[in-house]
Homo-oligomer: A and B are copies of this chain.
């Protein structure tokens, strides 16, 4: 119960220590350390040297409090495990760390958590400078509230109006899959992971579905395809869906799985039944998951890690101060520059899981 903290953590040096040691004022130290202008080169060098010798680093809490900026970016994800998400996060983390930002991650178990995080001021406000949301739908009013709080936002996987985003063209994904399958002669097709086609919806499954159907149609194929929604986008969902398809009296000859992970499950089911992917039934996935090549899965590749990196870069860019120019615009706000929307490239990767329709 002494005055000190029990653990005798050695007193660390503060900006004042450095200032007196270097024989300058704290203001100068502050400016020198942050590379601000108006510090003589010689002074800066000296201060930096002294600081280095003393092992000084600015206390982030103090900086944040004083400057009002946190130098922290928060990544919001449905869940951290899972290849897709962790890969995106990895890409984003690398860029953020490189740029000197701390990276906070928060997993949202449910949409409810999302609301809590976005609407209430918990993770926003004075806690983070920017948000990268991955595969999370941000409602316009939520986005507004985020902006109002002075927090930047970038989304990957889907877009949020008025904010930068990086995503792929999901309709084209479906179309590519359809083209590939049709070219191989398949006519009895199914989708795994489909969502009821709601023409108003813009979520990923719906778009891919739409693109796929559209692709078929442009080849003159009917669209009374069997569709199964594997409840979850993972292996289990895929397996269940494939099982259901195969139990059908007239199973499809080719299947479009909306994610590679689902496709893995589907392939398991195939294996269990002694069927060979690509020979007995063709299957194409989406992602080019790191294990797709292990099971020779044909897929529509997206380069997930780079999405994360790109999103981080957009975010950081968006957080730069408005640059002082053009502030003379008569409006009250800075000129509303169109936010960057990156549509990342996708690519068909043909492997063994798709083949010509079986002769019968």
Contacts and interface: CB of A to CB of B under 8 A. Distances in A.
A103 B106 contact: yes
Contact of A103 (B105, B122, B333): B105
A235 B150 contact: no
Nearest to A293: B268
A80 B70 contact: no
A356 interface: no
Contacts of A296: 271
A170 interface: no
Interface stretch (A57-65, A178-186, A219-227): A57-65
B150 A5 contact: yes
Interface residues of A, number: 65
A339 B349 CA distance: 50
Given A57-B120, A59-B65, A61-B126, 19 more contacts: A5-B68, A5-B150, A6-B321, A10-B148, A12-B149, A55-B120, A57-B122, A57-B125, A59-B125, A82-B86, A83-B83, A89-B105, A93-B105, A102-B127, A104-B104, A235-B291, A235-B293, A235-B294, A295-B295
CB-based closest 8 A-B pairs: A86-B86, A61-B64, A80-B90, A81-B90, A9-B150, A61-B65, A59-B126, A81-B87
Interface of A: 1, 5-7, 9-10, 12, 55, 57, 59-62, 64-65, 68, 70, 79-83, 85-87, 89-91, 93-94, 97, 102-107, 120-122, 125-127, 148-150, 235, 264-265, 267-268, 271, 290-291, 293-296, 305, 321-322, 324, 327, 333-334
